């Protein structure tokens, strides 16, 4: 019933450890794995099932998105990606508006979030008095825990009116007509636009990037930084020329993870982006993202082609996110030993 | 640890079984617009009869999909199905309660009910043809009102919604340009404007944008004291959106001449009728595989017809006129049958 018996009678972890230590002590060349009777194969099997279920779920999601979206992809072909007409009445669907909106808002969010996240991480690692380190760290983590719908409501009822009154209107009044700035900021002054959506997104991805950056900076061996200081470098020089290059690859990966989150964010954006399917013409123009379009229309999509077009949009988002994550993976590279 | 997981699993299983044991409960899914009144009715009905009604407000489209998949006893939709679609699936629909859609505005210096609009002008605004409030087409309807030279900002629903269906269908009815360029549907390709999510999203954009116009459900406009416009009805009168004006539209409508009860209460005759009125509908299978379940559903809705008007009015919905209810009771007997061909429910 049991496999060949090799271990001691009482197999507690502690006993196993002592045994392992003794084995190293006696310098036995082959470190043999202790056989665990019945439990080990079961445990191994369960782990295997967990891992493969995940893989199967992923394949299943891609498969069902492909099947569901096929009628729309087949009918509109490549124009699904390039045309910005989205008309549920005539059943003509082109997703260029939401695709462009998704990419613009995500990249803008990243541009806004990155400097702040960098500042938070560097402050926490380099300058922060130990007394403040915990509160700030907890605040960053709490920011990550706020449900996105709360951000959406805050954006709609607080940020948008404030933004319209104190930023958008003064800018529109001040900008000389016909100038590049005037073109960049034209739109309805009510705060529901690409830029406010990006600001909300930036606040949402900030804690992720900041937390990962902080952890990365912590992994730098003290010897590396101390030698830089020993050579007479200032704090700024140490951070810019030693710390950052040391974690550069992994940091880019962290940023990509933030981008992945921004791409898929749904509710907060839906509330504040203005939801127009056209190409956004300026920073203060309303637009839409892939996720916001699906959230808006899926419930009431009664036509088969409309449903299919929305599922195809889901597939496009999946592919964009997948590409970003794959890029992050490649940049993170093989796990470095620290 | 393992033990507690096992215990929890057993408890969940037991709960699931208990839920199944109460097979007498009615299940439905669909439109979000009538969900508050359905929930109120369910609460009152349960208190009186002990039978529960579980309604999932997943949207009209979802309600239609769920009833077609036979996962619920009834579906609910703000958008009536066309007779051909009903027959294709063996479904029957009847109106349950009414509401209306109200244009709301944010114009400084203009009080509620001060601005008069017609369907055609409303369509021109939503087409983006009328760009300022002082446009002669609006001014001509409002000789005594000083309209500001503000740009018009159009606000519409961004989510697919029965409210949008009613509103855009009304515009298509009143304007040939709207009918050909946009059409009437749950979600359309809006020629201009901003999209807010839900009634609250539209209301927020209207409140925050000077010179804006939007449309919301009547109950929402009333409860939030939004500045509404008067609208011209078929008889040529400018009416305010009130419960009486919705009821007037329903009385003017002739349900006996609507096959499959496919009837939109838009632009109905009558001097007091509100032009953008609509009923919300219940979908049932004509042949009930389980007559007991069909009977339970119809008993519930008949109880609501008889006892639910006060609760509906309290929530700013408009009850159906008695004549329409009587007609539906007759149709239940004629249309909804068990596999044996006998009516599943006869109202007493």
The yes-or-no verdict on residue A33 having pLDDT over 80 is: no
Residues B86 and B170 in one domain: no
Whether residue B287 is found in the same domain as residue B171: no
Asked if the model's pLDDT at residue B161 lies above 60, the reply is yes
Annotate B181-235 with DSSP letters as a single string.
Answer: HT--SSS---SS-EEESHHHHHHHHHHHSTTEEEEEEHHHHHHTT-EE-EEE-TT
Distances, alpha carbon A147 to alpha carbons A152, A297, A317, in Å? 9, 21, 21
Res A4: pLDDT: 45
Q: List all residues 6 or more positions away from B200 whose beta carbon is below 8 Å from its beta carbon.
A: B220
Q: How confident is the model at residue B51 (pLDDT cuts 50, 70, 90)?
A: very high
Rounded (to 5) percent helix, strand, coil in chain A:
70, 0, 25
Check whether residue B106 and residue B245 sit in a common domain: yes
Same domain, B75 and B13: yes
Where does the pLDDT of residue A332 fall: very low under 50, low under 70, confident under 90, or very high at 90 and above?
low
- Identify the residue whose tokens are 């009431």: A300
- Asked if B197 lies within 8 A of A271 by C-beta distance, the reply is yes
B160–A88 C-beta distance less than 8 A? yes
What pLDDT is attached to residue B113? 86
In the prediction, which pLDDT does A254 show?
A: 84
Query: Is there a single domain that holds both residue B112 and residue B80?
Result: no
For A236, the token pair is 């700024």
- The rounded distance, in Å, linking the Cα atoms of A271 and A290 is 14
**pLDDT 10s digits, B105-130:** 999 888 888 899 999 999 999 999 99
Residues B80 and B130 in one domain: no
Q: d(Cα B178, Cα A258) in Å, to the nearest integer?
A: 43
CATH of the domain at B169: 3.40.190.10
User: What percentage of chain B carries pLDDT values higher than 90?
Assistant: 53
Query: Cβ of B135: how many Cβ atoms within 10 Å?
Result: 17
Cβ(A76)–Cβ(A83) under 8 Å? yes
Q: Which two tokens stand for residue A24?
A: 């190293």
Of the residues A289, A300, A310, the best mutation for testing chain B's interface (the one with the most B CB atoms within 10 Å of its CB) is A300
* Partner residue opposite B189 with nearest CB, options A85, A275, A301: A85
Give the residues across from B157 on adjacent strands: B196
Share of chain A above pLDDT 70, in %: 87
pLDDT higher than 90, residue A19: no
Work out the mean pLDDT of chain A and round it to a whole number. 84
Q: What angle do CA B284, B26, B306 make, to 5 degrees?
A: 75
- The Cα–Cα gap between B264 and B249 comes to 10
CB contact under 8 A, A274 and B194: yes
Separation between Cα atoms, residue B85 and residue B91, nearest integer Å: 8
Distance CA(A189)–CA(A168), nearest Å, equals: 6
For B342, half-sphere exposure in the C-beta direction (CA atoms, 13 angstrom radius) is 8
CA distance A258 to chain B (A): 26
Per-residue confidence band for A15, with pLDDT thresholds at 50, 70 and 90: very low
Contact check, Cβ <8 Å, A300/B196 = no
Per-residue confidence (pLDDT) for residue A137, from 0 to 100: 86
The predicted model gives B96-110 an average pLDDT of: 91
Residue A9: what pLDDT? 43
Asked if residue B260 is part of any domain, the answer here is no
Greater model confidence, B251 or A209: A209
pLDDT at A319 over 60: yes
Residue of B nearest to A189 (CA): B209
Find the range with the poorest average confidence among A26-35, A275-284, B258-267.
A26-35
**Closest residue, chain B, to A275 (C-alpha):** B195
A164 pLDDT exceeds 70?
Answer: yes
At B16 the pLDDT is 44
Q: How many Cα atoms occupy the beta-carbon half-sphere of A158 within 13 Å?
A: 9
How would you list the strands of the sheet with B238-239, edge to edge? B116-117, B230-232, B238-239
- Whether residue B20 is predicted with pLDDT greater than 50 in this model: the reply is no
Q: Does the residue B124 lie in any domain?
A: yes
With a CB cutoff of 8 Å and minimum separation 6, the contacts of A108 are A194, A195, A198, A201, A202
Q: Flag whether pLDDT at A17 surpasses 90.
A: no
Smallest CA–CA distance from A296 into chain B, residue: B159
Contact A312, A73 (CB under 8 A): yes
Supply the pLDDT for residue B14.
46
Pairing of β B74-77 and β B26-30: parallel
Contact list in B for residue A161 (CB cut-off 8 A) is: 208
Integer angstrom CA distances of residue A131 from A127, A137, A207: 11, 11, 20
Q: Tell me, yes or no, whether B271 lies in a domain.
A: no
Report the Cα–Cα distance between both ends of chain B, in Å, rounded.
57
Q: Which residue has the tokens 């807010």?
A: B196
Count of A-B CB contacts under 8 Å: 98
pLDDT at A133: 87
Q: Does A101 touch chain B (CB under 8 A)?
A: no
* Helix, strand, coil % over all residues of chain B, rounded to 5: 45, 20, 35
Please tell me the total count of domains within chain B.
2
- Distance in angstroms (rounded) separating the CA atoms of residues A189 and B208: 9
**What does the mean pLDDT of chain B come to?**
88
Residue B155 has a CB neighbour count (10 Å cut-off) of 31
Is the pTM of the predicted complex or chain greater than 0.95? no
Whether the CB of A45 is below 8 Å from some CB of chain B: the reply is: no
Q: Which domain holds residue B185?
A: 101-253
**Which pLDDT does position A34 carry in this prediction?**
64
Does residue B309 sit in the same domain as residue B192?
A: no
CA B105/CA B152 separation, integer angstroms: 10
**pLDDT tens digits, residue range A102-120?**
999 999 999 999 999 999 9
**Is B21 part of any domain?**
yes
For residue A338, pLDDT beyond 60: no
Distance from CA of B343 to the nearest CA of A (A): 30
Looking at beta carbons, which residues of chain B come within 8 Å of A188? 153, 194, 209
Residue A314: pLDDT above 80? yes
Q: Is residue B228 part of a domain?
A: yes
CA distance A279 to A285: 9
pLDDT value of residue A333: 62
CB atoms within 10 A of CB B280: 25
Domain boundary among B219, B253, B287: B253
Cα separation, B155 vs B161, in Å, equals 14
| Confidence (pLDDT) at B200 | 86
Q: Which residue has the higher pLDDT, A337 or B79?
A: B79
Residues B157 and B203 in one domain: yes
Question: Do residues B175 and B133 share a domain?
Answer: yes
- Residues B322-335: what's their mean pLDDT? 92
Interface contact B204-A276, CB threshold 8 A: no
Reported as a single tens digit per residue, the pLDDT across B197-242 is 888 889 989 988 889 999 999 888 888 888 999 999 999 999 999 9
Is the pLDDT assigned to residue A11 strictly greater than 50? no
Instruction: Tell me the per-residue pLDDT of B275-309, one tens digit each, with 9 for 90 and over.
Output: 999 999 999 999 998 889 999 999 999 999 999 99
Is B75 found in the same domain as B138?
A: no
| Residues A190, B153: C-beta atoms closer than 8 Å | yes
Look at B153 and A89 and tell me if their CB atoms are within 8 Å. Answer: no
DSSP assignment, residue B261?
G
Interval B130-152: pLDDT, tens: 999 999 999 999 998 889 988 99
A89, A299, A302 ranked by CB distance to B189: nearest: A89
Instruction: Tell me the nearest-neighbour CA distance from A299 into chain B, angstroms.
Output: 5
User: To which residue do tokens 């925050």 refer?
Assistant: B208
Tell me if B262 is assigned to some domain.
no
Please indicate, yes or no, if residue B343 is contained in any of the structural domains: no
Q: What does the longest C-alpha to C-alpha distance in chain B come to?
A: 79
**Which domains, and CATH codes, for chain A?**
95-297 (1.10.3720.10)
**Confidence class for position B41, pLDDT limits 50, 70, 90:** very high
Query: For A63-67, A83-87, A272-276, B3-7, which range has the lowest pLDDT when averaged over its residues?
Result: B3-7
**Confidence check on the interface: ipTM exceeds 0.90, yes or no:** no
What pLDDT does A8 receive? 42
pLDDT-based confidence at residue A191 (cuts at 50, 70, 90): confident
- Give me the residues paired with residue B55 across strands: B28
A301 touches chain B (CB under 8 A): yes
With an 8 Å Cβ cutoff, are B194 and A188 in contact?
A: yes
CB neighbours (10 Å) of residue A44? 11
- Residues of A within 8 A of B212 (CB-CB) are 190
Structure token pair of residue A86? 């989205």
Give the closest residue to A184 by CA, choosing from A202, A197, A168.
Answer: A168
Q: Is B56 exposed, middle or buried (0-12, 13-18, 19+ CB in 10 A)?
A: middle
Q: What is the pLDDT of residue A30?
A: 56
Which residue from A190, A276, A292 is facing B209, i.e. has the nearest CB? A190
Cβ neighbours of B276 (radius 10 Å): 30
Asked whether residue A326 carries a pLDDT value surpassing 90, the answer given is: no
How far, in Å, CA of B49 to CA of B197, rounded?
38
| pLDDT over threshold 90, residue B252 | no
**Do strands B26-30 and B287-288 pair parallel, antiparallel, or not at all (unpaired)?**
unpaired
A309 confidence band (pLDDT: 50, 70, 90): very high
The answer to whether residues B88 and B59 touch, using CB atoms and an 8 Å cutoff, is no
Q: What is the pLDDT of residues A41-62, one digit of tens each?
A: 899 999 999 999 999 999 999 9
Q: What's the token pair of residue B34?
A: 């009538």
A305 and chain B in contact, CB less than 8 A: no
Closest by Cβ to B182, choosing from A89, A295, A301 = A89
Do both B108 and B243 map to the same domain?
yes
Residues of A in contact with B190 (CB under 8 A): 276
In a domain, B309, yes or no: yes
What is the pLDDT confidence band of residue A10, given thresholds at 50, 70 and 90?
Answer: very low
Of A61, A110, A68, A87, nearest to A293 by C-alpha is A87
- The reply to whether B211 and B118 lie within a common domain is yes
Mean pLDDT, rounded, for A133-162:
89
Nearest by CB to B185, from A89, A161, A277: name it.
Answer: A89
């Amino acid at each position: 019933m049991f496999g060949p018996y090799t271990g001691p009678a009482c197999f507690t972890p502690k006993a196993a450890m002592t045994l392992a230590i003794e084995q190293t002590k006696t310098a036995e060349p082959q470190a043999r794995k202790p056989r665990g009777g019945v439990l080990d194969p079961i445990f191994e099997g369960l782990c295997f099932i967990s891992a493969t279920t995940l893989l199967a779920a992923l394949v299943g999601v891609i498969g069902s998105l492909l099947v569901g979206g096929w009628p729309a992809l087949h009918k509109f072909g490549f124009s699904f990606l390039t045309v910005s007409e989205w008309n549920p009445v005539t059943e003509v669907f082109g997703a260029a508006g939401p695709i462009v909106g998704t990419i613009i808002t995500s990249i803008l969010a990243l541009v806004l979030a990155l400097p702040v996240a960098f500042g938070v991480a560097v402050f926490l690692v380099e300058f922060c008095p130990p007394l403040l380190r915990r509160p700030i760290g907890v605040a960053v983590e709490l920011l990550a825990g706020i449900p996105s719908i709360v951000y959406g409501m805050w954006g709609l009822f607080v940020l948008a009116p404030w933004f319209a009154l104190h930023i958008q209107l003064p800018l529109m009044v001040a900008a000389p007509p016909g100038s590049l700035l005037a073109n960049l900021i034209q739109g309805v002054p009510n705060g529901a636009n690409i830029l406010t959506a990006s600001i909300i997104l930036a606040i949402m991805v900030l804690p992720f990037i900041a937390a990962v950056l902080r952890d990365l900076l912590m992994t730098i061996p003290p010897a590396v930084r101390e030698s830089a200081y020993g050579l007479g470098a200032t704090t700024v020089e140490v951070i810019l020329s030693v710390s950052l290059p040391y974690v550069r690859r992994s940091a880019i990966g962290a940023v990509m993870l933030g981008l992945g989150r921004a791409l898929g964010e749904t509710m907060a954006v839906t509330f504040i982006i203005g939801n127009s399917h056209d190409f956004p013409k300026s920073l203060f123009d309303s637009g839409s993202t892939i996720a916001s379009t699906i959230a808006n229309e899926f419930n009431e999509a009664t036509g088969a082609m409309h449903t299919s077009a929305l599922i195809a949009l889901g597939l496009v988002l999946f592919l964009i996110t997948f590409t970003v994550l794959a890029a992050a993976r490649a940049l993170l590279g093989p796990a470095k030993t620290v | 640890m393992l033990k507690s997981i096992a215990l929890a699993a057993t408890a969940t299983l037991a709960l699931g079984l208990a839920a199944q044991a109460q097979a007498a409960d009615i299940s439905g899914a669909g439109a979000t617009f009538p969900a508050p009144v359905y929930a109120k009715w369910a609460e009152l009905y349960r208190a009186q009869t002990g039978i529960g009604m579980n309604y999932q407000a997943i949207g009209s489209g979802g309600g239609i999909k769920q009833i077609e998949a036979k996962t619920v006893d009834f579906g609910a939709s703000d958008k009536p199905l066309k007779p051909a679609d009903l027959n294709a699936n063996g479904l029957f629909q009847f109106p349950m309660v009414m509401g209306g859609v109200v244009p709301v505005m944010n114009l400084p210096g203009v009080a509620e009910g001060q601005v008069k609009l017609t369907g055609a002008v409303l369509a021109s605004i939503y087409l983006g043809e009328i760009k300022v409030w002082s446009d002669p087409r609006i001014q001509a309807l409002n000789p005594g009102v000083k309209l500001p030279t503000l740009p018009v900002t159009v606000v519409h629903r961004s989510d697919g919604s029965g409210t949008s269906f009613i509103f855009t269908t009304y515009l298509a009815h009143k304007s040939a340009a709207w009918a050909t360029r946009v059409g009437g549907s749950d979600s359309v390709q809006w020629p201009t404007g901003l999209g807010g999510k839900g009634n609250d999203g539209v209301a927020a954009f209207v409140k925050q944008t000077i010179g804006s116009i939007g449309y919301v459900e009547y109950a929402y406009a009333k409860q939030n004291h939004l500045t509404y416009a008067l609208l011209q009805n078929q008889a040529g009168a400018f009416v305010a959106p009130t419960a009486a004006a919705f009821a007037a539209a329903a009385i003017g409508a002739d349900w006996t001449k609507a096959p499959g009860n496919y009837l939109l209460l838009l632009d109905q005759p009558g001097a007091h009728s509100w032009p953008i009125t609509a009923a919300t509908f219940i979908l049932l299978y004509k042949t009930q595989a389980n007559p007991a379940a069909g009977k339970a559903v119809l008993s519930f809705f008949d109880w609501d017809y008889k006892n639910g008007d006060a609760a509906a009015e309290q929530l700013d919905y408009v009850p159906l006129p008695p004549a329409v209810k009587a007609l539906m009771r007759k149709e239940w007997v004629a249309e909804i049958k068990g596999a044996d061909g006998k009516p599943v429910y006869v109202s007493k």
